[in-house]
Every structure is written in structure tokens, then in C-alpha cells.
Amino acid sequence: MRTQIVAGNWKMNCNLDESQHLLNALNQKNFTTTDVEVIVAPPYTNLYAAHQSLKDSPIKLSSQNLNENEKGAYTGEISPAMLKSVGVEYVIIGHSERRVIYKETDHLLAKKATTAAKHNLKIMFCIGEVLEQRKEGRHFEIVKEQLEKGLFHLSATEMKNVVIAYEPVWAIGTGETASPEQAQEMHQYIRKVIADHYTIKIGEQTSILYGGSVKPNNAKEIFAKEDVDGGLIGGASLDADSFADIVMSF
């Protein structure tokens, strides 16, 4: 069985106090009663304190990004070793906000994936089409290309530490979600693309999360789809009750 995962991407929200407050509230939730793997991705400045707060918790820690280099003259950047040193287990790579606002290319994301894999950081690799591409019927082609250019240079062994997040860009932060059928159709396709490139077994074992305006009121029907193994949650992850409700939607 694939790992079911619900991950919260806090983006550029929560100062240290707010972050600790949210983590305390999440620590009150009884996530030990579920098999779902729960992950939070606070901003860089809160990671170390978050790691301390989560010491006795099943909640895992992710960063929202990493630099592709080991160390050196990269002002303002954070290396994989730095992330490891503050207890980070996962990294989000290729979020659409990084692709669109910060112009991160498939080529750069491929380098980030290599660096993360080398440092044994688990990867949440985000892919997804913009609205225009969907309207033109190119969404499958776009997602396949993102996988091929950004991820498929990883070895089969490295792929075991990769989770895919399918996030149609038109559904992120917009209140609009893909229908459960649209999500299922794309997730099934992604699984096939992975199976064709690696093996059927790797395709079957790879967790594929849906992201895009998942809320407590729609999580259940999206997560009920066969190839949807959980969610990457933005806005609703900033509220402990909403996030916990989404986790418990399985």
C-alpha cells in the first residue's frame, strides 16, 4: 500500500511566535491514531524551533525550497546540509510559485532534485499546468514534460524517496479545485508515466498528492479517488483545525 500523506505548505506566513503557536495546536491533535503521514513546511527561519517542538510528535518537517549547490558564495540561499542540520526530512521542489515568480526552470529543478537526493532529503516534487494549457488540452503533455525534465534523471532507488504533488496552477489559492474526476484522471496518468519510465512497481509505490484549494469540505471526495494519495495544502494548513480535519478525511 502507498503512503498516504497530508503536507502543509505554510509559504511566507507565520513569524516564530505564530509558528510555535500553530505547531502547539497541531501537537494537540491526535495524529498518532492515523496512518496518514503528516508533514509541515514552515518558513526557513522557523525550522529549527519547529524541529524542537516536533521532537515527540509524528509530524514530519519539510522545507519549502533548497539551493542546488553544496555551499559557497550564494548570498541568501540555504543548502541541503543546513536543512539536514535543523531536522528537515522533506523538501518541496518545483512549487508553481517558485516556477512562476522566481523563474525556476526544469533544468534548475533537476539540479535541486539531484542535490536533495544526494543528501537523503525526501522530495515533494510539484508539477501542474496553468489554465491556458488546460484549455488548450495540453495538460498531460505539460505534466509529462515536467517529470521528464525535472525528475526522471534520478535513479530508481532515488525515486523511492520522491512524492509527487500534482497541483494545477489554476487551482492554487484560487478557491477553485480540480474535480475529483479531473484529479483522478491526471494522477492515473502520472502513475503510468512513472511506471513507463521506471517500473510498474515504482509507479504503484509512488505517492501522488493533489494540491489546489483543498479544504475540509472537499478533501474527502478528492482523497477517495484511487490514485490520490493525499494532499499538499496551502491556505488551509495555517489553521490547525482545518488542517487536522483534512488529515482525518481519509
- Please identify every residue annotated as catalytic: 95, 167
* Residue 9 within binding range of ligand PEP, rule CB under 6 A: yes
Site for ligand PEP (CB under 6 A): which residue of 42, 43, 168, 211?
211
Site for ligand PEP (CB under 6 A): which residue of 118, 136, 173, 204?
173
* Residue 242 within binding range of ligand PEP, rule CB under 6 A: no
Site for ligand PEP (CB under 6 A): which residue of 23, 116, 214, 246?
214
Which residue stretch of 155-163, 194-202, 210-218, 241-249 sits at the interface with ligand PEP (rule: CB under 6 A)? Answer: 210-218
Closer residue to ligand PEP (CB): 154 or 233: 233
* Residue 232 within binding range of ligand PEP, rule CB under 6 A: yes
CB of 232 to ligand PEP, least distance (A): 5
CB of 87 to ligand PEP, least distance (A): 22
Following DSSP, what letter does each residue of the chain receive, concatenated?
Answer: -PPPEEEEE--S---HHHHHHHHHHHHHS-GGGS-SEEEEE--GGGHHHHHHHTTTSS-EEEES---SSSSSS-TT---HHHHHHTT--EEEE--HHHHHTS---HHHHHHHHHHHHHTT-EEEEEE---HHHHHTT-HHHHHHHHHHHHTTTS-HHHHTTEEEEE--GGGTTSS----HHHHHHHHHHHHHHHHHHS-HHHHHH--EEEESS--TTTHHHHHTSTT--EEEESGGGGSHHHHHHHHTT-
Closer residue to ligand PEP (CB): 1 or 101: 101
CB of 8 to ligand PEP, least distance (A): 9
Which residue stretch of 105-113, 133-141, 209-217, 240-248 sits at the interface with ligand PEP (rule: CB under 6 A)? Answer: 209-217
Which residue stretch of 47-55, 65-73, 183-191, 206-214 sits at the interface with ligand PEP (rule: CB under 6 A)? Answer: 206-214
Site for ligand PEP (CB under 6 A): which residue of 46, 191, 235, 246?
235
Tell how strand 162-166 and strand 122-127 pair up: parallel
* Residue 8 within binding range of ligand PEP, rule CB under 6 A: no
* Residue 176 within binding range of ligand PEP, rule CB under 6 A: no
Q: 99 — phi, psi (to 5°)?
A: -65, -45
Using CA atoms, how far apart are residues 153 and 232, in angstroms rounded to an integer?
24
Which residue stretch of 135-143, 152-160, 186-194, 228-236 sits at the interface with ligand PEP (rule: CB under 6 A)? Answer: 228-236
The count of other CB atoms within 10 Å of the CB of residue 201 is 10
Q: What is the Cβ-side half-sphere exposure of residue 187, based on CA atoms within 13 angstroms?
A: 30
Q: Applying CB under 6 A, which residues contact ligand PEP?
A: 9, 167, 172-173, 211-214, 232-236
